[in-house]
Structure formats: C-alpha cells, structure tokens
Amino acid sequence: MNENYVVTVDALADFCTKLFQAYGANYEKAKDFSESLVKTELRGIKSHGVVRIKNYIDRMKAGTITLNSSSKIIKETPTTALIDGNNGLGMVISKEAVRLARRKAEESGVGIVSVRNSNHFGAAGIWGEELAGNNMIGICATNSEPIVSAPVGKTRALGSNPFSIAVPANKYPTVNLDISNGVMALGKIYEYRRLGKEFPEGSWLDKEGTPTTNPHANEVAEFIMRPFGMHKGFGITVMMEILTAILADGAFGPEIPSVYRDIDKPNPISHFFMAIKIECFRDLHDFTSKVDTLIEYLHSLPVQEEGKRVLYPGEIEAKVSEQNDKNGIILSEEVVKELLDMANLGGMEISDSPFEVAPNNIVINSQI
C-alpha cells in the first residue's frame, strides 16, 4: 500500500511559494497563488489543491500562463469593474478582483467585478468566502472549457461553471454553497481511480458519448460529464456562462481550449465576483444571528437514519479545515513525489523535506 504524508499548513504554503518562485513567479504572486492552493487543501477539496500545480507549471513553462503579467481595469464605475486578466495566474487575478469587489461594496453597498482572459481559479468556494468575509454576501462563478453535456446531448456543450454563494453566520462557520453544475468535478475521477471505485450510474459518458461507470474507460481529460439534475444543472451552467464570459466579453464554451490537453494554447476563461454589504439591508449582528437560527433549525430536522444529521452547505469543509489546521494536511505519496520532482526540475533548494510519513491510521479525506 502507498504511504501518505503529512505536512503543516505553514510548511506547505512556504514550499508552494518557493516552488512558484523557482519557476519565475515574483514573491507576491507566488505567495497569493500558494495561499489559495493551501486554503483549498485545508478545506479538503483535494481535486483542486496542490494536485493541480503540475498543470499550472506546465502552462507557465509553455508560456500559456503569462507569469507576472498585470491585469488591467478596462471599465469602472463606483460599483462595477471589468478586468482583463492578461492571461495571468487565475488565482492571483481572482485575489485582486475579490479585493476590488469588497472595496466597492464597503464604499457603495455592492461591488461587482467581471474578469476576462484569466486562467483556472481553482475552488469557487475560497473566493466566495473571501468575498463574504464577516460582513458581506459573496457570490462568484467561473466558466471553463466545455465538459458538461446537454441533458439529451452526447458531446461536451459548456463548462461545469462552478459557483459559490457564501454568507457569514455569527456562532457558526460561513454558509458556503460551492458547486459545479456537473454530476461531479473532473478532478474526482482521480479519487475514483485511487480508491478503485466505479462511478455512480448516470454521472459520466465516455469519449464516444456512451454512459459509463468505469473510471478507466478513457483518459481522465476525455470523459464527458452529465449535468446534475439534468435540465436544472444544465440551465444553471448556461446562466453562469452568461454571467461570466458573455458579460465580460470573454471567450465562451467552444472557444476555450482544454486546460489539460491543449497546454500550448491559452485557456482564456472569465469570472464573476460580487460582494453585497449586509448592513445596507439590516443590522449585521441581527442578520448573522438569524443565519445561526436557520442553521440550528436545519440541525434540528428529523433524519431518515439514526446517527445522521442535516448539514448546511460549507459545514463539512469548515470542519475539515479545523482538523487539517490542527493535524496538518495529508497528501498521497504520488502527489508528494510529483511536488518534489517539480521542485528538483525547477532547481528549488530543499534542505529538509517538509513532508513526513503520516501514521498508518491517517487517511486522506475523500471527496467521494
């Protein structure tokens, strides 16, 4: 059996910052980039954490992510801004856009920032939560290359276009719905492979458009995702495409090459960020206390199976975050090897590896 490794949050952040610097990112960008990946790992969203670094670095090396480029505000009003990301790092651009949306919302009650020509921004939920902070409602979305089929379709129609709606509570961690509109994220295929499990019926089509439950039916990047809830998930994906690419005058659906297969082509995606200042509507403490009441109501609901409990969106990730913060982040041997290989190839100096073999009873939190 493969070993798992454990790494502290600070050590992983430091490793990732130095890794991006080794590939040419300046310190500020490397730090913002690394922080967002580590936050994603903390929340247990393994499919969008450090496992993605290789793709980002392959793109930096191919010149299809322009390192250290600066995004530019194209159009601005007191409550809105349109940013051209200039093909920079998606997570760095998103961080800037979130700061701008929050500043506008602090000043004018609402801040909406639309972004084009960005790159993959990872887990929507980390941006939703940053937009929300402890006093706002945060909403964000991204488009992506086509991967989701239409309900009756057998080809890829549009991206899975994940979005997050995040709302602060008072006593409880932030309510944060962070979902894509496919039955499951592409990155989870690696989890099915790792755990030797079959996909649930109806979740994927193979590259020919035939339903399959076999995670090895073809290359990971070739699967075609079904929309969740058929016309409902598909409808949301269409609307997220409009809120992101069409609003930002960015590339939409078929105009976006594959993030994994077309390393030599830019992946110009668009994002949408919105912050709404709660105090413009009601007293902040009253609002967050009422969110607590809603959470407590959900927790009190009768359940079908003894020992289960109704959870609210974001609750699982908040709990996992607390555990990971305390015990360290667990990474598979495969991921650690890939990180160390990239560090070596980039000429990064590592005096002591920050990754320690995890005790046998520690397992990786699975997203499936």
Ligand X SMILES: NC(=O)c1ccc[n+]([C@@H]2O[C@H](COP(=O)([O-])OP(=O)(O)OC[C@H]3O[C@@H](n4cnc5c(N)ncnc54)[C@H](O)[C@@H]3O)[C@@H](O)[C@H]2O)c1
Give the amino acid at 133: G
Which of these segments, 41-49, 197-205, 214-222, 250-258, binds ligand X (CB under 6 A)? 41-49
CB of 314 to ligand X, least distance (A): 5
125 binds ligand X (CB under 6 A): yes
State the Cα angle at 99 between 65 and 58, rounded to 5°.
15
If the CB atoms of residues 111 and 128 are measured against ligand X, the closer one turns out to be 128
Q: Quote the CA–CA distance of 32 and 37 in Å, as a whole number.
A: 9
122 binds ligand X (CB under 6 A): yes
266 binds ligand X (CB under 6 A): no
If the CB atoms of residues 126 and 339 are measured against ligand X, the closer one turns out to be 126
Q: Quote the CA–CA distance of 34 and 131 in Å, as a whole number.
A: 18
When binding is defined by CB under 6 A, the residue of 119, 176, 270, 332 that contacts ligand X is 176
168 binds ligand X (CB under 6 A): no
45 binds ligand X (CB under 6 A): yes
If the CB atoms of residues 177 and 247 are measured against ligand X, the closer one turns out to be 177
142 binds ligand X (CB under 6 A): yes
180 binds ligand X (CB under 6 A): yes
CB of 8 to ligand X, least distance (A): 23
Q: How many residues bind to ligand X according to rule CB under 6 A?
A: 26
Q: Quote the CA–CA distance of 217 and 122 in Å, as a whole number.
A: 25
Nearest to 345, CA basis, from 14, 11, 22:
22
Phi, then psi, of 89 in degrees rounded to 5: -70, 125
223 binds ligand X (CB under 6 A): no
Q: Quote the CA–CA distance of 21 and 33 in Å, as a whole number.
A: 11
177 binds ligand X (CB under 6 A): yes
CB atoms within 10 A of CB 209: 12
Q: Which two tokens stand for residue 37?
A: 């990946």
- Footprint on residues 297-336 left by ligand X (CB under 6 A): 311, 313-314, 316-317
**Contact indicator for 313, 175 with CB cutoff of 8 Å:** yes
If the CB atoms of residues 268 and 354 are measured against ligand X, the closer one turns out to be 268
367 binds ligand X (CB under 6 A): yes
CB of 162 to ligand X, least distance (A): 4
If the CB atoms of residues 218 and 367 are measured against ligand X, the closer one turns out to be 367
178 binds ligand X (CB under 6 A): yes
CA dihedral 89, 94, 99, 102 (to 10 degrees): 170
- Footprint on residues 245-264 left by ligand X (CB under 6 A): none
Q: Which two tokens stand for residue 154?
A: 């057998």
- Which residue bears the tokens 């509507």? 281
Look at phi and psi of residue 143 and say left if phi exceeds 0, alpha if psi is from -120 to 50, else beta: beta
What is the DSSP secondary-structure string of 127-180?
HHHHHHTTTEEEEEEE--SS-BPPTT-SS--B----EEEEE--SSSPPEEEEE-
128 binds ligand X (CB under 6 A): no
What single DSSP character describes residue 87? T
CB of 356 to ligand X, least distance (A): 27
268 binds ligand X (CB under 6 A): no
Going from the C-alpha of 72 to that of each of 87, 88, 230, 284, the distances in angstroms are: 11, 11, 38, 33
If the CB atoms of residues 90 and 354 are measured against ligand X, the closer one turns out to be 90
68 binds ligand X (CB under 6 A): no
If the CB atoms of residues 179 and 343 are measured against ligand X, the closer one turns out to be 179
Q: Using CB atoms within 10 A of its CB, is residue 285 exposed (0-12), middle (13-18) or buried (19+)? A: exposed
If the CB atoms of residues 162 and 354 are measured against ligand X, the closer one turns out to be 162
215 binds ligand X (CB under 6 A): no
Report the residue number whose CB is nearest to ligand X.
123
Binding site for ligand X (CB under 6 A): 45, 47-48, 120-125, 142, 144, 160, 162, 176-180, 184-185, 311, 313-314, 316-317, 367
